[in-house]
Amino acid sequence: MDRMLVVVFDSENKAYEGEKALLQLDGEGSLSVNALAVLAKRADGTATILKSDDLGPLGTLLGTTFGAFIGILGGPVGAAIGAGAGLIAGSAADLGKLRLGSDFIEDVNTLLLPNRVAVVAEVDENWTTPVDTRMEAIGGTVIRRALSEVEQRIHDEHVAAMKADLAQMKAEHAKAQADRKAKIQAKIDQLETKLQAQLQKSKEKREALEREAKAKVEALEAKAAAMKGKAK
């Protein structure tokens, strides 16, 4: 299952131990780490990215979700840092890109208090015990959330609503008096432009998800081949 994983520690040293343990679990096949960063919340509430890892092709492809999440955790300053690190594609403040609920953001920010450090990762994880056991032993508190397809449902509803409005406007245009036709047509043109933009956005998102899925398969195949080679 594709998840966003946050493990909060009370020191940088423990956070780096947590990062090492997470990568060890990846090497053991307990999960797959697609993108990872170590983030510190400073005393003033701003965030600093201490380390980020581009783990193969997914590091770039997951920028929209992973980078935006990092940016939101740090607020405006964190967003700027995330962009500078190459982690953000698009607006970090766009919650719709996260495929995460706002309640998850609130839960993480409640846990990630000033002077604490977090390991943040996007992972494919089939069971939670390996991570929880390893991180608890180091002193980390784990919070996770499966990535959802809420954004696509919202998009579909938005498109359906615009199409309904467009049909209604065209019906009114057909019946309108000459002095009203131009005004209605202007609204029709404006709505059609918005609809096309929304459809294009959906197409780009779908293509990005397809590339992400392909990259994940390739990464998993490469990992399996490497493990097989070590076993010989």
Q: pLDDT, tens digit, for every residue of 151-179?
A: 666 677 778 888 998 999 999 999 988 88
**Mean pLDDT, the chain, as a whole number?**
78
State yes or no: pLDDT of 101 exceeds 90: no
Considering only 16-25, 122-131, 149-158, 217-226, which range has the smallest mean pLDDT?
149-158
Tens of pLDDT, residue by residue over 176-218, are: 888 889 989 999 999 999 899 888 877 877 776 677 667 767 7
Confidence category of residue 119, pLDDT binned at 50, 70, 90: very high
pLDDT at 85: 40
pTM over 0.75: no
Cα–Cα–Cα angle for 208, 211, 214, rounded to 5 degrees: 150
Tell me the domain boundaries of the chain.
Answer: 2-148, 151-231
Compute the distance between CA of residue 113 and CA of residue 141 in angstroms, rounded to an integer: 12
109, pLDDT greater than 60:
yes
Residue 72 host element (H or E): helix 63-84
Q: What's residue 58's pLDDT?
A: 44
For 47-91, write each residue's pLDDT tens digit.
888 887 654 444 444 445 777 787 777 654 334 333 444 333 333
C-alpha separations of 33 from 25, 161, 177, 219 in Å: 9, 38, 62, 10
**Mean predicted confidence (pLDDT) in 116-129:** 91
Dig out the tokens for 3 from the structure. Answer: 């998840």
Position 94 scores a pLDDT of 47
Give one word for 29, left, alpha or beta, with left for phi > 0 and alpha for psi -120 to 50.
left
> How do 117-124 and 2-9 pair as beta strands?
antiparallel
- C-alpha distances out from residue 134 to 34, 137, 138, Å: 19, 5, 7
Mind listing the pLDDT tens digit for each residue in 6-49?
Answer: 999 999 999 999 999 999 999 888 988 888 889 999 888 788 88
